[in-house]
Amino acid sequence: MSKTWLITGASSGLGREMTAQLLARGDRVVATVRREDTLADLAQQHGANLMVLTLDVTDFARARSAMDDAFAKAGRIDVIVSNAAYGLFGAAEELTDEQIEHQIATNLTGSIHIIRAALPHLRRQGGGRIVQVSSEGGQIAYPNFSLYHATKWGIEGFIESVAQEVAPFGIDFIIAEPGPTGTNFGPNLVRPASMAVYEDTPAGDVRRAVDSGSFEIKGDAVRTVEAMIAAADSEAPALRLTLGSIAYESISKALAERLASLQAQRDVAFSADRDAQ
């Protein structure tokens, strides 16, 4: 049985790959892009199965009206995919105020408004699924990606809470956490002017790895999207979907270290309780 999907940030990367795969199997897609012509080839090939809406997710009022338009045109939408995002790459001290604001508005606040705008429609139709494209960077952190991590850790916390709020309405979530994947994410990183003082620090090491091409990328975009679609099609997916061996290993290591650190503090933690009454 075919489904109808809404995908933000569908003009490139994982969003475009997902749009293409879903259309190829006969599903309908409402794709949001900043420039409508970026999907002209898919529109010509798939006709009425592709509906394209223009949306910059940093325009929060438009996020709500675009969602209203999407449901008005498509009727029922089974899966919302909040995908629009980009990476800001630089040591925290190097970033400009404007770059910080735009990163948060795109990756965090924009995703929040997309999800909030979808919820009334999903409630009225009796349920649905929301896929938030996060990253291994929602669970671990690299130097030089501090603001990117802030947005991904932030959206994951938001979803952890909202998922509990809307479960009674038949609405559930998947947080997709790909590791480094072969898309246009790296070439499209926004980079401030670098400061010489960070050259011989971990931030400088990561910058050189990215610039030289030695920053390891194992994820395959086609297979990553196939796994995301399979999870969204499944009856009861896990809340978090880890994608790629790098993501699996890095998240496993981070969680193990975090748990060990927590358990070592058990006595201190319990000492902060009030005396039993």
Task: Look up 198 and say whether it is catalytic.
Answer: no
Q: Is 73 part of the annotated catalytic residue set?
A: no
| Annotated catalytic residue, options 11, 82, 111, 250 | 11
Q: List the catalytic residue out of 142, 152, 198, 250.
A: 152
Considering the candidates 134, 135, 146, 250, report the single residue annotated as catalytic: 134
- Asked about 134 being catalytic, the answer comes back as yes
Choosing from 86, 142, 148, 198, the catalytic residue is 148
Q: Would you say 71 and 127 are in contact if contact means Cβ atoms under 8 Å apart?
A: no
Any bridge partners for residue 241, and if so which? Answer: 176
DSSP 206-248: HHHHHHHT-S---B-HHHHHHHHHHHHHSSS--SEEEESHHHH
Per DSSP, 135 falls in state -
3-state secondary structure 84-132: CCCCECCCHHHCCHHHHHHHHHHHHHHHHHHHHHHHHHHHHHCCEEEEE
- Residue 261: active-site member: no
Q: β-pairing, 4-7 with 240-243? A: unpaired
Backbone dihedral angles phi then psi of residue 83, each to the nearest 5 degrees: -120, -25
**Catalytic (active-site) positions:** 11, 134, 148, 152
